[in-house]
Amino acid sequence: MQEKWVFDWQEQDPKDSLKASLESLFSEKAKELGIFLSYYTRSEGAIAENVRLLEMEEPLSPQEGSLWLGFQKVHYNACLNIHETDLDKIQVRYLIDPSVGKLVLTGPYVPEREPDEL
């Protein structure tokens, strides 16, 4: 499994850095970003909340690179009585296509397990 999520991307203000522009977008679209990351936490019975940009790695080009997102896992199974407050993190790739005004986030590839034979 490898998830992708597409956001609308506005032309960034020249005085703002890419990091500042991404932080602004992520704070506006926090719920959507949480849904995207929840695809990676659902196998543990959790959803992702309070997502924020932790750091950006050296970009491959002005429109492409990797970044680290931090988030909290919230378990929705009341029987487990789990409440995690530690930040978890995940590395995602980004690709900005200014010609169509889109930002594409691509999560890590997680191989899916085949069913067991009887």
pLDDT tens per residue, range 62-114: 889 999 999 988 876 656 666 666 678 999 999 999 889 899 999 888 877 77
Question: pTM (2 decimals)?
Answer: 0.79
* Dihedral sign (CA 97, 100, 105, 110): negative
Q: Nearest-CA neighbor of 94 among 34, 19, 28?
A: 19
Give the pLDDT of residue 86: 64
Sign of CA dihedral 41, 42, 48, 52: positive
